[in-house]
Structure 1
Amino acid sequence: MEEIYIGKRANRISGTISKIGYTLIIVVLIFIFWNGVNELSTSNIDKQETSLSEAIDRDIIQCYCLEGVYPPSLDYLEQHYGLIYDKELFFVDYRPIGANIYPDVTIIRIQGDAKKDL
């Protein structure tokens, strides 16, 4: 009788250990999946920022080649050269220095870090 009780107790212990093991495996897999999605999101935002920088540079140079002066504002690039970007994700500080001096352009990520925390 005692052997049956010990056997049942051993089965309960091994069942509990296997449940904990399965739970840990699921938690680790969820963490790995979440971390991968987070890395892809960050990489995508980095690529968008690089693309925006290249588009602004291209439009500034194209404006200078066609008109002989650098664009007076970022709005000018948007209206005449078709510059489009996500204004909720990036802030572009555009400072013209002079008609024949390349403008100072700074791109600041607004929500990139906030989305990273989600």
Structure 2
Amino acid sequence: MKRRDIAALAVFAAVLLVFWLAMDHLTSASDDAELNLVRDAVKNAALTCYAVEGAYPEDLAYLREHYGLGYNEARYMVYYDAFASNVMPDIRVVERGRSTP
């Protein structure tokens, strides 16, 4: 092989590496945005329930049934801890199969 061919191959490999890293970064940012959307949807449904009924719901099933809450349950786990009917519940969303640092 000529030096010119080796240099062209190295440039091509570098371009592929940069492209792969950029796609990985975009995918990660998109996943984080979707996780925040699920968290916001649960929080907004709970706040709507509180505004309409004067109490936060005891569980997610109530929000699904009465306020149309929906999310990809196969992809996300939602932890909804209602302490009291007049205290905002603790809401945490975790993507299934994703390791957390």
TM over 0.5: yes
| Separation of aligned partners in 2, 1:87 and 1:26 | 41
Deviation at 1:89, TM superposition (A): 2.6
> Structure 2: any 5+ residue segments left out of the alignment?
none
1:18 aligns with 2:4: yes
TM-score (norm. length: structure 2): 0.86
Q: Secondary structure at the match of 2:2?
A: helix
1:58 aligns with 2:44: yes
Q: Which has the larger radius of gyration?
A: 1
> Structure 1: any 5+ residue segments left out of the alignment?
1-14, 114-118
User: Which 4+ residue blocks in structure 1 deviate beyond 3 angstroms?
Assistant: none
| Separation of aligned partners in 2, 1:112 and 1:45 | 11
Which one of the candidate residues 79, 82, 92 is aligned to 2:65?
A: 79
Cα RMSD (Å) of the superposition? 1.5
Indicate the percent of aligned positions where both proteins have the same amino acid.
Answer: 25
The structure where helix makes up a greater share of residues is 1
Task: Pick 1 or 2: higher relative contact order, CA cutoff 8 A, min separation 6.
Answer: 2
Deviation at 1:112, TM superposition (A): 4.6
Tell me the residue number matched to 1:68.
Answer: 54
| Aligned residues between the structures | 99
Deviation at 1:38, TM superposition (A): 0.7
Which one of the candidate residues 70, 95, 98 is aligned to 2:81?
A: 95
